A and B are shown apart, each in its own frame.
Chain A
Amino acid sequence: MSRIRSNYAMQVSPFLRWVGEGQLEEIHLATLEVLENTGIRVDHADALQLLRDAGCIVKDENIVRIPSWLVEECIRLAPRKIVVANRKGERVMPLEKNRTYFGTGSDLPFTVDFETGERRRSTKQDVELAARVMDYLPNYDFVMSYAIASEQMAAASDLHQFEGMVTNTVKPMIVTAHDERNMRAQLEMASLVVGGREKLRQNPFLILYSEPISPLVHTVDGIGKMFACFEYGVPVVYTPGILSGATTPVTKAGTIVLMNAEALAGVVMAQLKQKGAPIIIGGGATPMDMRTTTTLYGAPETSMNYAVMTQLSQYYGIPNFTEAGCVNAPVPDAQAGMEASISILMAQLMGANLVHDIGYLEGGKTGSLTFLTMCNEFMDAARYMGAGTRIDHATMAVDVIKEVGVGGNFVTHTHTFENFRQEIWTPKLSNRSFWDKWEEQGSKTMEQKAAEWTKEILAAHQPEALPDSVCAGMKEIIAEIER
Chain B
Amino acid sequence: MNSFGNMAEAVIAGDFETVKKMTQTMIDEQVDPIAIINQGLMAGMNVVGVRFKAGDMFVPEVMMSARAMSTGIELVKPLIADTNMPSAGKVVIGTVKGDLHDIGKKLVVMMLESAGFQVVDLGVDQAPADFVKAVQEHNPHVVGMSALLTTTMLKMKDTVDALKEAGLRDKVKVIVGGAPVNRSFAEQIGADGFASDAATATDLCKTLAQ
Contact = CB atoms under 8 A, between A and B. Distances in A.
Interface string B106-130: 1100000000000000000000000
A213 interface: yes
A290 B60 contact: yes
A182 to B, nearest CB: 10
Contacts of B78: none
B59 interface: yes
Given A178-B151, A293-B198, A109 B60 contact: no
A121 B153 CA distance: 13
Given A154-B154, A157-B150, A293 B179 contact: no
A178 to B, nearest CB: 6
B103 A246 contact: yes
B65 to A, nearest CB: 14
B148 to A, nearest CB: 10
A289 B197 CA distance: 12
A129 interface: no
A217 B106 CA distance: 16
Nearest to A243: B103
Nearest to A158: B151
Contacts of A250: 60
Interface string A434-455: 0000000000000000000000
Interface size class of B (residues with CB under 8 A): 10 to 19
Given A178-B151, A288-B59, A293-B197, A365 B100 contact: no
A109 B59 contact: no
Contact of B59 (A217, A219, A293): A293
A210 B39 CA distance: 50
B100 A217 contact: yes
Contact of A293 (B101, B107, B180, B182): B107
B55 interface: yes
Contacts of B100: 213, 217, 219
A292 B151 contact: no
A20 B51 CA distance: 41
A247 B103 contact: yes
A312 interface: no
Contacts of B101: 213
Nearest to A148: B150
A104 interface: no
Nearest to A215: B103
Instruction: Determine which residue in B58, B60, B107, B151 has the highest number of CB atoms from chain A within 10 A of its CB, and name it.
Output: B151
Contacts of A243: 103
Interface string A122-166: 000000000000000000000000001010001101000000000
Contacts of B199: 293
Contact of A154 (B60, B106, B107, B150): B150
A272 to B, nearest CB: 23
Contact of A157 (B60, B151, B197, B198): B151
Interface string A293-305: 1100000000000
Given A291-B55, A293-B59, A293-B197, A107 B150 contact: yes
A337 interface: no
Contact of B60 (A213, A245, A292): A245
B58 A290 contact: yes
Interface string A89-130: 000000000000000000101100000000001000000000
A144 B17 CA distance: 51
A246 B107 contact: yes
B58 A109 contact: no
Interface in B137-164: 150-151, 154
Nearest to A43: B100
A150 B150 contact: yes
A250 B63 CA distance: 14
A213 B180 CA distance: 18
A250 B179 CA distance: 22
5 contacts: A150-B150, A154-B151, A157-B150, A292-B197, A293-B197
Interface of B: 55, 58-60, 100-101, 103-104, 106-107, 150-151, 154, 179-180, 182, 197-199
